[in-house]
Structure 1
């Protein structure tokens, strides 16, 4: 899935003009938001009603359908948005991209975004399953309906970014994420659900801003730039699951939320690099 993500972002980066990249990325991230919601609900429904193996078979069919769509609609051709010659090797491309402070900031942000997302939505289940919430398993699954607002807000990320700029837009998403995280430390279920909604919507919105920024900032070798961003992104997810779990077990949910809040502050500081007045 991470390879498919990288290749699709690269296809969008190379086939869209610089002004169209933001909208294309926002549309693609919106599809990912929807998949987070419907995929989880579909998986649990299939497993409960038909069995675990049947759930895997159904998702295999969906992956094959994705391959067919890619075969029919992904056409090779010269990049439309590239303005600089490609590097001589992938290692040279990596060196060039890592030498760009704006792209380095974006890679760091990618790491933090999935760290926080995986950390929140992995371990909040344990919190709401215990007192004072004590939700039954069926209702815990329905908690993922908090992704619905993100399906509505993420598509407008491109228009907001065009109007206000990548840096102010991203900083605003981090501020909303911080508010959501603070609500997660309360003992009110309503506030907890509101916090999850804000965190999910803001992180997906910020992800759209960040991926579009990478697409616009990398003037060549988009596959290498997107690959570095997504490598950081998925490594962040692994770290979030591992590290936050240890913090949660040793110190509790409030400490875990405090760590995540600190990371969001770091992401906001990195977002100060999101200016687009100088090419790579």
Structure 2
């Protein structure tokens, strides 16, 4: 299917809104963690649960969502997920204490669990392999845009009014994104219902976990997301304190660096489509490691440059790894995507909490030391994947206007 065809353009438009909504609703609270720690008398690790609880519940439910979509279809479940997440965000604006906020954020994770894995499976079914990297890049680019705007909006509004107004506004924006997604996304052409039941879920999981490459890609998702979430979780603590002593708005504006992720995810997808994922992944991860090391500097310009490089490298790496899962997995494809994202979001939750413990022990130097060690493990995985043997071609699937589909 040509990337310029009207159907592909509609898919990419819808998937851009989907990525925007998920990341905006999920990560809008991240720059508010230092404020919540102060308001509710929490430690850095405790305040991280306002984000970690959402990623943890999302990790669990997206596996079930992927399996459910293999039975009932993709579009309806993704739309319901986006609308449910937006509704939970609206309710968060009226939470009376931190416990209520955590409950609502947990429900938000449950709601959003029907989107990420199903979106990746939909793209894997409907987009030809030579164009898949671009479409996955569009989804991740939308994620970067949503994450950036949500963080900036909540930070600015928290400085001048209240974080409650910010969450209410983001909830309304999420409802609009859900409507745009529903009206733009074409119905599936290549979807085939899978077998229902727990046995089918377990059989599919065993199939994917026996693959020579997929478990390593799952582990890579765990490490990448854990490092990235921790980076943005605790950089605010550092910038609000001496020697920088910046304000909340300035900390939120650091999320403008997500613009680099919007570019790098699509750029890396195109490059991987051209020269191969195994030849791109280790380079983008090396850039992430370099950027993280630069954040140790006491010079604000060098620190911001490091954040920029790390953000660019993370989104590029995630784009390559997630599209590799979509190309390599056999049916049930949605379950393979769900397993990748399960480890991805569990990594964000667990390593995000671990980063808070590291902050309590040795502030930013300790956080960076832990994250560099984890990235070192991720680099070893990326180098191992360079020798992964490609799969034999999958059975050919054709549909009007889509061309031939083969395995990656």
Provide the TM-score with structure 2 as the length reference: 0.63
**In structure 1, the residue corresponding to 2:391 is in which secondary structure?**
coil
Alignment CA distance shift 1:145-1:67 (3 Å)? closer
Cα shift at 1:162: 2.5
Cα shift at 1:160: 1.1
Is residue 366 of structure 2 the alignment partner of residue 277 of structure 1? Answer: no
**In structure 2, the residue corresponding to 1:115 is in which secondary structure?**
helix
Q: Distance in 2 between matches of 1:141 and 1:115?
A: 20
Alignment CA distance shift 1:97-1:159 (3 Å)? same
Q: Distance in 1 between matches of 2:172 and 2:336?
A: 30
Cα shift at 1:247: 1.3
The equivalent position to 1:243 in structure 2, one of 349, 354, 363, is 354
Instruction: Describe how 1:1-280 pairs up with structure 2 within 5 A.
Output: 1-47=112-158, 51-79=162-190, 89-271=200-382, 272-273=384-385, 275=388, 277-279=390-392
Alignment CA distance shift 1:78-1:270 (3 Å)? same
Q: How many residues align?
A: 277
Q: Distance in 2 between matches of 1:54 and 1:251?
A: 35
Cα shift at 1:146: 2.0
Cα shift at 1:101: 2.5
CA offsets per residue over residues 219-264 of structure 1, 9 Å max, x none? 2211101110111011001012211111121133212212111111
Q: Distance in 2 between matches of 1:219 and 1:132?
A: 52
Cα shift at 1:49: 5.3
**In structure 2, the residue corresponding to 1:131 is in which secondary structure?**
coil
Q: Distance in 2 between matches of 1:39 and 1:136?
A: 17
Q: Which moved more, 1:104-113 or 1:122-131?
A: 122-131
Cα shift at 1:87: 6.8
Alignment CA distance shift 1:125-1:226 (3 Å)? same
CA offsets per residue over residues 122-143 of structure 1, 9 Å max, x none? 1111112222222222222222
Gaps of 5+ in 2: 1-111, 395-408
Cα shift at 1:47: 4.8
Q: Which moved more, 1:221-230 or 1:71-80?
A: 71-80
* Contact 2:144 2:261 survives alignment (8 Å): yes
Q: In angstroms, what is the RMSD of aligned CA positions? A: 2.2
**In structure 2, the residue corresponding to 1:101 is in which secondary structure?**
coil
**In structure 1, the residue corresponding to 2:215 is in which secondary structure?**
helix
* Contact 2:149 2:255 survives alignment (8 Å): no
More relative contact order, 1 or 2 (CA 8 Å, 6+ apart): 1
Gaps of 5+ in 1: none
**In structure 1, the residue corresponding to 2:213 is in which secondary structure?**
helix
Cα shift at 1:26: 0.8
Q: Which moved more, 1:246-255 or 1:222-231?
A: 246-255
* Contact 2:140 2:262 survives alignment (8 Å): no
* Contact 2:124 2:326 survives alignment (8 Å): yes
